[in-house]
Amino acid sequence: MANKSLVGSRPFTPATVPQLRLAFASRLPFRGRPTLNGPLLQQPKIVGLVVRRQRAEAAALAGTLAGHLRSRGVTVLVEQEMAALPEVQVVDKAAMVRSADLIVVLGGDGTLLSVARLGGVRELHVLGINLGGLGFLTEVSTDDAVPALERVFAGDYQLDRRTTLAVRVLRRGAVVASSQVLNDAVINKSALARIIDLHTSVDGEYLCIYKADGLIVATPTGSTAYSLSAGGPLVGPGVAVMLLAPICPHTLTLRPLVLADTSVVRVQLRAPDQEVFLTLDGQEGIPLLDGDVVEVARSPHVVALVRTVARSVLGVLRDKLHWGER
């Protein structure tokens, strides 16, 4: 007999979970489990520059990199704000992601995350130049930007493939929003000091009702972000898991949970007359209504970070989080 899930209105059977996984993968061709530090790419012929517009030094560096790329016969794509650069093609960010062999991000991790959410068509290759703060993802310094590009053209780099999550919002059974995240999907309430009820299941099996300020579903990459602040564990990017971290739960025994990344997480909101949002990578907000269901599963697509300097995960954590310092 089918077990009726407490999350959503459809009954779950043993066949339902594979169908849910296929539903996520149906939008995009399945590539199998991502490989970290995989094979090198061919030389890029089309390069997109995504610039953090609030930083004047980013625009100046974009001009330098564009000139360097043009000297190599590379087609350079930019957004409208950088249209003044000579001999470039102006496109929107989504078109750039679809067309470019390589995206060079001039900004911080947030700028890179805004690009990663658009990478739901093919494997996205990103070189991050850090003009922000911590720079977990954008680790190349501005002084090393041109040398890093030279190493790319010389084939002296590796691809650090990061898993992403496919996120859907269902309202009365119909999909009303969908996206891809590199860090996390967060269900959180507004400023009112009232908890919300989040009826949660994993692979069709009832897990619990999170009575909390919210719930974070994160990738290993996102384990250094909001999930960490909510008490979640640090996870190496090559570990095949996803994280569930409640935000200020009413019951202290509700601790962060590590799941296999083959899991399908389904969360139904029960919060009448409250403002609740689904936040994607801390940047895009989707209002949720009472009864809405948020489904999260591993996306078949990855974001490949171009690494021109050999750095271990432990070394990055030690440097960025200042471990061992007094």
- The answer on 197 and 135 residing in a single domain is no
Q: Which residues are catalytic?
A: 109
Domain-embedded: residue 8 = no
Domain end position, chosen among 104, 133, 156: 156
Amino acid sitting at position 64: T
For residue 35, pLDDT beyond 70:
no
Instruction: Identify which of 162, 165, 169, 122 has the alpha carbon closest to the alpha carbon of residue 28.
Output: 122
User: pLDDT-based confidence at 138, cuts 50/70/90?
Assistant: confident
Which CATH number do you get for residue 232? 2.60.200.30
User: What sign does the dihedral 189-194-199-201 (CA atoms) show?
Assistant: positive
What distance in Å separates the CA atoms of residue 63 and residue 46, rounded to the nearest whole number?
16
Task: Give the model's pLDDT for residue 121.
Answer: 67
Q: Which phi-psi region, left, alpha or beta, contains residue 25 (left: φ > 0; alpha: ψ -120 to 50)?
A: alpha
User: Does residue 131 surpass a pLDDT of 50?
Assistant: yes
The residue among 14 and 137 whose pLDDT is bigger is 137
Note whether 101 and 180 are same-domain residues.
no
Q: What mean pLDDT comes out for the span 41-69? A: 88
pLDDT at 39: 47
Cα–Cα nearest to 281, from 158, 119, 156, 121? 119
Distance CA 126, CA 3 (A): 44
Residue from 180, 174, 130 nearest 302 by CA: 180
Number of domains the chain is built from: 2
User: Whose structure tokens read 């720079």?
Assistant: 135
pTM here is: 0.84
Residues 6+ apart with CB under 8 A from 307: 37, 139, 157, 158, 159, 160
Confidence tier at 324 by pLDDT (50, 70, 90): confident
Q: What percent of the chain has pLDDT over 90?
A: 66
Judgement on whether residues 88 and 181 belong to the same structural domain of the protein: no
**Shared-domain flag, residues 74 and 168:** no
Quick one: pLDDT at residue 73?
Answer: 95
Q: What is the pLDDT of residues 202-255, one digit of tens each?
A: 999 999 999 999 999 999 999 999 999 999 999 999 999 999 999 999 988 899
> Based on the domain organization, do 293 and 174 belong to the same domain?
yes
Domain for residue 236, yes or no? yes
Name the domain boundary from 93, 125, 156. Answer: 156
Contact 162, 171 (CB under 8 A): no
- 320: exposed, middle or buried (Cβ count in 10 Å: 0-12, 13-18, 19+): middle
User: Could you give the CA distance from residue 236 to residue 261 in angstroms, rounded to a whole number?
Assistant: 13
Task: List pLDDT tens digits, range 292-315.
Answer: 999 999 999 999 999 987 777 787
pLDDT tier at 52, thresholds 50, 70, 90: confident
Distance of CA 84 to the CA centre of its chain: 30
What is the rounded distance in angstroms from the CA atom of residue 233 to the CA atom of residue 221?
11
pLDDT given at position 28: 36
- pLDDT tens digits, 248-275: 999 888 999 999 999 999 999 999 989 9
Same-domain pairing of 136 and 183: no
Let me know if residue 88 belongs to a domain: yes
Average pLDDT over residues 122-135: 85
C-alpha 95 chain-centroid distance? 19
Closest CA to 116 of 297, 303, 326, 324: 303
Q: Is residue 321 part of a domain?
A: no
| Residue 145: band (very low, low, confident or very high) from pLDDT cuts 50, 70, 90 | very high
Domain match, 186 and 105 both: no
Q: What is the pLDDT of residue 193?
A: 66
Share of the chain above pLDDT 70, in %: 86
Q: pLDDT tens, 62-82? A: 999 999 999 999 999 999 999
104 pLDDT above the threshold of 60: yes
